[in-house]
Structure 1
């Protein structure tokens, strides 16, 4: 596992995402020459070869499958780069779960449900491992005049305002935050939610990862140019072979470093 840094001065601002269920990609990825693969090692090697420095792994298994999850994370981490790992909708049952993921090779543990249900667990993880090893994620929907945080994979509303949540997790000392637009998740036609991303960047004191709605490298360029987001995450455009990670990195390289800095 390479040490993680959230400064992107020397790192591409593009983060590909891979969904994993029972040690395989949830759906087959389209690889070069039109081949398809459910092998997460093959898919991650492709993303790394194309220049990805950080990769988000959304492992959908429950923690009862830890005997499978932890060896998988270890195998996936040996290829280099930094793995941002979420398990069971961004949850952790206790300190041991977080410790075990980091020991297995995760560069950072992604926590979502736990940030709401057990913030003290987040605080202890930051104290033990450093804030850069913890990524806070909020699935969110616009309700009336605010964005509301949802947990359990976006299924359960919390009544918590996204900007209030942002300040809370920053106060806990996390290294970065990722607001994911549920309304745009999986939609490749509308681009990122710029007002949502912009609002979080104005409230957060740490780097922000834009998520939800990416349909092209130009969408990444737009969110990184028009907001203070440090990174842009995408899944579908890479997984289905619409664009390569390398194409996205090349497009984002046109943005001045003064725009992309955290």
Structure 2
């Protein structure tokens, strides 16, 4: 089982950094003793403190408490025809990459490379796939570590957002649609974690998928390194407005669904 990318302490930290709220200011605005806040951020479960700081940070109380208690983990999506999820090692963490194909034509697309694309290359060979393109969600090192190797092996072009150009990838403007047999892959800008973060919405298969990179995680989201405001807005308006049964394929952590994140993600669940 792939662990969640973030725990509740990570979520609190991302919200604080995004809103530029110090520990001292957070304690004051939430009317909690500074020492209690510090203990919570060191791992002590204090439901009262969490309930008080959640609204100050724009986080859902119940979702944050559930995350802190370890009671949220997304449902297993089982086998998805024409789709593989790879979880690869990168330094002291893991990173995801994905392989999608039309089961009739065997035309395929790779999404990011992860820290090691060996498993992906093995799957391509075993299933007799022809990779038409490599689609990058963003260009942080852990997601493109094996781009050169993957391109040479499959002899296919790579594409990245025009706002985040790198050598070896052709820039495109979000809104472009890619076709794999009966599968349609529409792209849209979900920047915030990075300047040119792109998500890819896949329709025409057994399940609708959205490959989101570090825009959104199960129970969390990527840090708003470029723009916290844009990251929240794009996730809320572009990803979480997709049908509830859409499978979210994040850059880190397990698969989840739009419906689950609307209920369980502290950044977006205000039930």
**Higher helix content, 1 or 2:** 1
Structure number with greater Rg is 2
TM-score, with normalisation over the residues of structure 2?
0.28
Q: Give the TM-score taking structure 1 as reference length.
A: 0.29
